[in-house]
């Protein structure tokens, strides 16, 4: 019985890790590659959840389809936000503390806006994969975890292909390493960073659909993920999408094992514990240089 409990905890942790990957990949782009401390990223995830909720409850639309349709608009919003951030802070070399305050304000605006519109009641969606569970011997795999894991890993895989196989993707990788070198070969760092930040916000909105599939939510739920996403980004090596996948899986397994064998109340401390250990022993992360 103990062995079966351990195996199920690990499997559930891997499923959770796939979802964490979807949530954290945008932070890897914004914080790791662009050096933008977008602490409002989880708020955009929650906003995406409410997009899925409204489309599902009013139109009967699948939450994943709703957020895929919303992703292009989120991309444009992200590009606009970066423009504001660049003009107000980055172009004046005042991005460090004031830029952080900008995203704190954005976090507050999104959360209060959602609170005023939807209140504090927990919201949920309905979909064919919300209830069924696959049984593989003694291992149980809920579809409401398997679907988010699959979507999260597919989205990250497509992003990796985009980064390594397209000109814009390689330019994003270049701007994260050497902005001046990108200028020398004719690239526009501001435009590239604008595109990259738009992609980061689009991934957050898609991750929002995954969040509301996994759990009911209310506007302040995003706060629970602030520490997690930054811990995954640092643990993975800041700029490495592969590292993000590995770190998210490790985080999911560590949290689930802690929740199963120690207690659910200790689970939120795992992210911060892993972050402190990583900074102490390997500041560059698993795949960092």
- List, for residues 223-280, the tens digit of each pLDDT value: 889 888 988 998 888 888 999 999 999 999 998 988 888 887 787 787 778 778 877 7
Q: Is residue 141 part of a domain?
A: yes
Sign of the four-CA dihedral 164, 158, 168, 241: negative
Q: Are 250 and 235 in contact (CB under 8 A)?
A: yes
How many of the other CB atoms lie within 10 Å of CB of 161? 11
Q: What's the rounded Cα separation, in Å, for the pair 90 and 78?
A: 16
Q: What's the rounded Cα separation, in Å, for the pair 253 and 79?
A: 34
DSSP string, the chain: -HHHHHHHHHHHHHHHHHHHHHHHHHHIIIIIIT----TTHHHHHHHHHHHHHHHHHHH---HHHHHHHHHHHHHHHHHHHHHHHHHHTGGGT-TTHHHHHHHHHHHHHHHHHHHHHH-SS-B----TTSS-EEEETTEEEEHHHHHHHHHHHHHHHHHHHHHHHSHHHHHHHHHHH-HHHHHHTT--HHHHHHHHHHHHHHHHHHHHHHHHHHS-B-GGGGGGGHHHHHHHHHHHTSS-HHHHHHHHHHHHHHHHHHHHHT-GGGHHHHHHHHHHHHHHH-TT-SS--
| Tokens, residue 182 | 């990108």
Q: Is residue 116 part of a domain?
A: yes
- Nearest to 157, CA basis, from 260, 282, 18, 38: 18
Tens of pLDDT, residue by residue over 164-188, are: 999 899 889 888 777 766 776 667 8
The rounded mean pLDDT for the chain is 88
Residue numbers of the domain that contains 224: 14-281
pLDDT above 70 covers what percent of the chain?
Answer: 94
Mean pLDDT of the region 116-142? 88
| Tokens, residue 276 | 């402190």
At residue 139 the predicted structure's pLDDT band, cuts being 50, 70 and 90, is confident
Q: Is residue 3 part of a domain?
A: no
* Number of domains, the chain: 1
Tens of pLDDT, residue by residue over 40-87, are: 999 999 999 999 999 999 999 999 999 999 999 999 999 999 999 988
Q: Is residue 235 part of a domain?
A: yes
pLDDT above 90 covers what percent of the chain?
Answer: 57
pLDDT for 226 equals 87
Spatial CB neighbours of 207, under 8 Å, sequence gap ≥ 6: 19, 22, 23, 25, 26, 45, 48, 152
Buried b (16+ CB within 10 A) or exposed e, 168-180: ebbbbbbbbeebe
pLDDT for 95 equals 56
pLDDT for 94 equals 55
pLDDT for 286 equals 76
Q: Are 267 and 9 in contact (CB under 8 A)?
A: no
| Tokens, residue 202 | 């689009």
Tens of pLDDT, residue by residue over 187-209, are: 788 899 999 999 999 999 999 99
Q: Is residue 108 part of a domain?
A: yes
Q: Is residue 1 part of a domain?
A: no
Q: Is residue 240 part of a domain?
A: yes
Q: What's the rounded Cα separation, in Å, for the pair 267 and 265?
A: 6
Q: Is residue 62 part of a domain?
A: yes
Q: What's the rounded Cα separation, in Å, for the pair 127 and 100?
A: 37
């Amino acid at each position: 019985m103990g062995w079966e409990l351990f195996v199920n905890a690990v499997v559930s942790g891997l499923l959770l890790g796939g979802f964490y990957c979807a949530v954290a990949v945008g932070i890897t782009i914004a914080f790791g590659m662009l050096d933008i401390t977008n602490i409002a990223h989880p708020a955009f995830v929650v906003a995406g959840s409410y997009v899925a909720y409204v489309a599902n409850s009013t139109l009967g639309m699948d939450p994943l389809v709703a957020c895929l349709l919303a992703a292009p608009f989120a991309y444009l919003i992200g590009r606009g936000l970066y423009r504001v951030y660049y003009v107000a802070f980055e172009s004046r070399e005042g991005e460090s503390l004031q830029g952080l305050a900008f995203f704190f304000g954005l976090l507050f605006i999104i959360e209060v806006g959602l609170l005023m519109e939807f209140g504090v009641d927990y919201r949920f969606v309905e979909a064919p994969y919300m209830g069924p569970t696959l049984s593989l011997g003694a291992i149980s795999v809920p579809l409401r975890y398997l679907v988010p894991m699959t979507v999260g890993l597919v989205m990250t895989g497509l992003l990796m292909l985009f980064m390594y196989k397209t000109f814009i993707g390689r330019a994003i990788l270049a701007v994260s390493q050497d902005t001046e070198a990108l200028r020398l070969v004719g690239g526009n760092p501001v435009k590239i960073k604008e595109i990259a930040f738009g992609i980061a916000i689009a991934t957050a909105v898609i991750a929002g659909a995954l969040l509301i599939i996994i759990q009911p939510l209310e506007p302040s739920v995003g706060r629970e993920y602030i520490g997690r996403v930054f811990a995954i980004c640092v643990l993975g090596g800041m700029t490495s999408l592969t590292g993000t996948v590995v770190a998210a899986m490790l985080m999911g397994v560590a949290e689930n094992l802690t929740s199963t064998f120690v207690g659910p109340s200790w689970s939120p401390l795992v992210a911060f514990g892993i972050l402190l250990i990583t900074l102490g022993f390997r500041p560059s992360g698993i795949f960092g240089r």
